[in-house]
């Protein structure tokens, strides 16, 4: 396994937010952390990134794995161009770094925008630039913290397709935090559902549907209804293996 989380917990002052969370992520998997606001999804992600060390339990990441992080906001430096933002933090030969950055800007559809400044970009373009900045470090594990939540529905769908295109090309391991059930089901191999007070891992659901997936398919619709039921505290006895079988044939 590329990532293993065991008995993970996190306390903020007197409040225990997460407790006893266990899961693993395999090489090349796309895994979503799903749950209501405040359940601790982003807290888990920050710990995976090494941005938070004050947790209980253990996190094991395969040695040598490089980690990239994409925040909810693009967090571009306003005084630097798209190209300069993409190469920011890279060491070594400037020309080689810029050529490398241009390859990733091409991948995210921003090759012609390299000389623009953040104020000249739309929200979707800015987030594409943030994705390119994360990818230029060639991470083995890409962590995304609700990266499309501030975008309109159409742009969000475009960037979801872009993420899958990138995954198809470089097969990086992806861990995505989201509160969007449709997004989790459309993108993921597995959905980890966090619930409770404090939150625990309530479900580890394998979405055994082939790609490309149809956003309007009956299979995804049934998964969505069952996840909504689970989030509302209703248990479900639905046969997920049947959903997977139907999805494979769709």
**How do strand 173-178 and strand 30-34 relate by DSSP bridges?**
parallel
- Whether 223 is in a domain gets the answer yes
Angle between helices 94-107 and 153-170 (to 10 degrees): 120
DSSP 8-state class, residue 80: S
**How do strand 56-61 and strand 173-178 relate by DSSP bridges?**
unpaired
CA distance 227 to 44: 20
pTM of the predicted protein model: 0.90
- Whether 73 is in a domain gets the answer no
- Whether 217 is in a domain gets the answer yes
Q: Is-contact 194 202, C-beta < 8 A?
A: yes
| Residue 124, pLDDT score | 94
| Residue 167, pLDDT score | 94
Peptide bond into 60 cis (omega under 30): no
Q: Residues 6 or more apart from 37 whose CB is under 8 A from it?
A: 179
- Whether 107 is in a domain gets the answer no
**pLDDT band for position 4 (50/70/90)?**
very high
Q: How far apart are the first and last CA of the chain?
A: 30
Mean pLDDT, range 135-156, rounded to an integer: 93
Q: What is the pLDDT of residues 206-244, one digit of tens each?
A: 998 888 899 989 989 988 998 888 888 776 544 444 344
CA distance 210 to 22: 26
| Residue 1, pLDDT score | 79
- Whether 105 is in a domain gets the answer no
Tokens of 20: 């006893």
* Total of domains in the chain: 1
The C-alpha angle 106, 111, 117, rounded to 5 degrees, equals 135
Closest CA to 140 of 238, 66, 75, 74: 66
Q: What is the pLDDT of residues 56-109, one digit of tens each?
A: 999 999 999 999 999 989 999 999 999 999 999 899 999 999 999 999 999 999
- Whether 23 is in a domain gets the answer yes
Tokens of 87: 């190469």
- Whether 207 is in a domain gets the answer yes
CA 118 to each of CA 81, 112, 163: distance values in angstroms, whole numbers, following the listed order: 7, 14, 21
**How do strand 3-12 and strand 15-25 relate by DSSP bridges?**
antiparallel
> Which range of residues forms the domain containing residue 162?
3-66+139-249
Residue 28: give its domain's CATH number.
3.40.50.300
Query: How many CB atoms within 10 Å of residue 209?
Result: 23
CA distance 104 to 109: 8
pLDDT(245) > 60? no
pLDDT(246) > 60? no
- Whether 97 is in a domain gets the answer no
């Amino acid at each position: 396994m590329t990532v293993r989380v065991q008995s993970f917990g996190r306390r903020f002052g007197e409040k225990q937010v997460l407790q006893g969370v266990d899961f693993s992520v395999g090489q090349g998997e796309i895994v979503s952390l799903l749950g209501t606001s405040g359940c601790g999804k982003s807290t888990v992600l920050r710990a995976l990134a090494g941005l938070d060390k004050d947790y209980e339990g253990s996190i094991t990441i395969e040695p040598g794995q490089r980690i990239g992080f994409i925040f909810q906001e693009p967090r571009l430096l306003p005084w630097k161009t798209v190209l300069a933002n993409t190469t920011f933090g890279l060491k070594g030969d400037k020309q080689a770094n810029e050529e490398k950055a241009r390859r990733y800007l091409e991948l995210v559809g921003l090759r012609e925008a390299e000389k623009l400044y953040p104020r000249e970009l739309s929200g979707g373009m800015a987030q594409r630039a943030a994705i390119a900045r994360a990818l230029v470090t060639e991470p083995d594990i890409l962590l995304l913290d609700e990266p499309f939540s501030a975008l309109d529905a159409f742009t969000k769908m475009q960037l979801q397709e872009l993420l899958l295109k990138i995954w198809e090309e470089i097969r990086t391991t992806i861990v995505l935090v989201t509160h969007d059930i449709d997004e989790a089901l459309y993108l993921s191999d597995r959905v980890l559902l966090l619930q409770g007070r404090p939150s625990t891992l309530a479900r580890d659901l394998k979405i055994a549907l082939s790609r490309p997936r149809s956003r309007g398919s009956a299979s995804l619709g049934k998964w969505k209804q069952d996840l909504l039921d689970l989030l509302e505290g209703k248990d479900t006895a639905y046969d997920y293996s049947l959903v997977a079988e139907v999805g494979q044939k769709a």
